[in-house]
């Protein structure tokens, strides 16, 4: 595979990822009224997959990403309760 082919494939993958993120944004905008524990399990599975994916892209350990998420939740709680 030539260097140009790699660049083209990379650009196509980036575009697909951007589109997928848009689809995620649409799905996350939906407000589910009938939440049950199976839905919680699904969301946790997606969350774990996204953490692992971000780790691959960023080079950060999954534990560091999880810590950042926890800090973000704490900061949001403090802001909401202020």
pLDDT in tens, 23-78: 999 999 999 899 999 999 999 999 999 999 999 999 999 999 999 999 998 877 76
In this prediction, residue 2 carries a pLDDT of 76
Domain ranges of the chain: 1-30, 33-82
pTM across the whole model:
0.80
- The answer to whether residue 82 scores a pLDDT higher than 80 is no
HEC string of the chain equals CCHHHHHHHHHHHHHHHHHHHHHHHHHHCCCCCCCCHHHHHHHHHHHHHHHHHHHHHHCCCHHHHHHHHHHHHHHHHHHHHC
């Amino acid at each position: 595979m030539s260097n140009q082919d790699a660049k083209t494939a990379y650009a196509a993958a980036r575009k697909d990822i951007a589109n997928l993120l848009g689809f995620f944004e649409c799905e996350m905008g939906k407000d589910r009224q009938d939440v049950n524990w199976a839905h919680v399990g699904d969301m946790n599975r997606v969350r774990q997959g996204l953490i692992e994916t971000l780790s691959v892209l960023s080079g950060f350990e999954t534990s560091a990403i999880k810590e950042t998420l926890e800090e973000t939740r704490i900061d949001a709680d403090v802001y909401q309760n202020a």
